[in-house]
Amino acid sequence: MHIWGGMNLIASDIEIVNQCLAGDVNAFEVLIERYKRAIYNTAFRMMGNKEEAEDVSQEAFIRMYNSLAKYNPEYKFITWALKVTTNLCLDSLRKRKAETIPIDDGFEIKDGKDTPEEEYIRKENQKLVQDAIMKLPDKYREFLILFHHRNLSYQEIMDITGESLTIVKNRLYRARQMLKEELISRGKEREKYAVPGNK
């Protein structure tokens, strides 16, 4: 009898992994439901558009399922899952030479409280930040997203990237500096083309 539908809130990740390895092909659906949002959001932040983020997310879960026997329970499942996801993103980004892609409307969930003007400004600011992030070199963008958007610890980023604490901190510092410089530059460009008297 299949009982995972009622256990998804209490079964641990390793219990579900063990059930998968024991032959329960449906058990993996629990892990997909549990982490699909985090995986997609990470892929979207790194890839910059909805379609590629969806492709990477699907491929990440396929790879995870096919590699479950290699999963080391010493690490959190989400840490391993994000490592698979970021590696796929980096592979894809290398293939397209870090091409900048416009942001999609689905960048952030709307709360429905903004006025039309506030909504427009919010979207413009989101686009500005996301486009600036997409301008960062892949190796810096990865660290920025893992730390600030996924809220991972230094140790978790070290586990995902395989880099030392010194490199993690240095790249985060450099990524923040580069992002700040890019945003300042873009802000100046917007001011240059602003219509006098308009706010």
Give the model confidence (pLDDT) of 49-67 as tens digits. Answer: 899 999 999 999 999 999 9
Residue 196 pLDDT class (50, 70, 90 cuts) = low
What are the residues whose beta carbons fall under 8 Å from the beta carbon of 138, sequence distance 6 or more? 90, 93, 94, 98
**Which residues in 5-25 are b (16+ Cβ under 10 Å) and which e?**
eeeeeebebeebbebbeeebe
> Domain for residue 51, yes or no?
yes
> Domain for residue 5, yes or no?
no
> Domain for residue 2, yes or no?
no
Give the model confidence (pLDDT) of 82-92 as tens digits. Answer: 999 999 998 88
Residue 79 pLDDT class (50, 70, 90 cuts) = very high
pTM (two decimals): 0.65
Predicted confidence at residue 96, as pLDDT, reads: 63
Q: What is the percent of the chain where pLDDT is above 70?
A: 77
> Domain for residue 132, yes or no?
yes
Give the whole-angstrom CA distance, residue 88 versus residue 76.
19
Query: Please, what is the average pLDDT of the chain?
Result: 80
3-state secondary structure at position 125: helix
Domain count, the chain: 1
Give the whole-angstrom CA distance, residue 87 versus residue 123.
29
> Domain for residue 16, yes or no?
yes
CATH number (domain holding residue 41): 1.10.1740.10
Tell which wins on pLDDT, 118 or 7: 118
> Domain for residue 99, yes or no?
yes
**pLDDT over 50 (residue 103):** no
> Domain for residue 3, yes or no?
no
> Domain for residue 65, yes or no?
yes
In terms of residue numbers, what domain contains 110?
A: 10-192
